[in-house]
A and B are shown apart, each in its own frame.
Chain A
């Protein structure tokens, strides 16, 4: 059982570049989340989705976009990457308890 899979695990971006962080889950969960975690800090919610076709902003959505065309996939898009987006990104899915991916460590230089 794969659970929640995130790709890539690591990425270095140049300022102004764009990229998509992939997240897929195989548990048929309706709820999916994207968080970012800066060094030594807690998790901050970027976007969440309560089902296919439905997304909403969390605490820190600026600079990011999401889509949810299927139950399984919830990609996070970074447009015009900035150094402030250097962070570790976690995707999660849940119904009752949440399951997290292993994270994507992103550095913007």
Chain B
């Protein structure tokens, strides 16, 4: 399986933007880049995913490097509720079963 590398932890001030990086140098052409987050004492929740183009939704934006070997999850205005562990995951084509979690990045938001 293609692997991802994320920093163990990051801090952000409340109401400031947060850029969470992910390296995936062995990504294949059909791998989608998925992001999930896990709030304390909850199950993971889907954040966003993309293939080649940058993506936006109500929760976040996903910026994908042109060579697709890295990506960045952008939270435009961090709130205390965004404090969570963020996982970057590579997944095969839309119908692929693969869903393997790494260690993720623990985001702390400072009031």
Measured between beta carbons, the chain B residues less than 8 angstroms from A92 are: 43-44, 99
Q: Which residue of A lies closest to B89 (CB)?
A: A98
Instruction: State A95–B91 Cα separation when bound (angstroms).
Output: 11
Tell me if A96 counts as interface (CB < 8 A to partner B).
yes
Given contacts A31-B97, A42-B102, A45-B99, contact A96 B49 (CB under 8 A): yes
Which A13-54 residues sit within 8 Å CB-CB of chain B?
31, 33, 35, 42-45, 48, 50
Complex Cα gap A102–B43 (Å)? 5
Q: Which A residues are in CB contact (< 8 Å) with B32?
A: 96
CA separation between A98 and B100, bound complex, in Å? 12
Residue B36 contacts which of A33, A48, A59, A98 (CB distance < 8 angstroms)? A98
Knowing A42-B104, A95-B94, the reply to whether A100 touches B99 (Cβ < 8 A) is no
Cβ of A74 under 8 Å from chain B: no
Q: Hey, what's the 0/1 contact readout for A67-79 against B, CB within 8 Å counting as 1?
A: 0000000000000
B43–A90 contact, CB under 8 A? yes
Rounded to whole angstroms, the CA-CA distance of A33 and B97 in the bound complex is: 9
Contact check, A94 vs B99: say whether CB atoms are below 8 A apart: yes
Looking at chain B, what size class is its interface with the partner chain? 10 to 19
Residues of A within 8 A of B87 (CB): 42
CB contact between A102 and one of B42, B46, B94, B99 (< 8 Å): that residue:
B42
- Partner of A99 from the list B46, B103, B104 (CB cut-off 8 Å) is B46
Neighbouring A residues of B99 by C-beta, 8 Å: 31, 33, 45, 48, 92, 94, 98
- Flag if A90 contacts B44 (CB, 8 Å): yes
10 extra A-B contacts, CB within 8 A, seeds A97-B46, A102-B42: A42-B87, A44-B101, A45-B99, A48-B97, A59-B100, A90-B44, A95-B95, A98-B44, A98-B99, A100-B45
Could you list which residues of chain B lie within 8 angstroms of chain A, going by C-beta atoms?
Answer: 32, 34, 36, 42-46, 49, 87, 94-95, 97, 99-104
Q: Give the interface of A toward B (CB within 8 A).
A: 31, 33, 35, 42-45, 48, 50, 59, 90, 92, 94-103
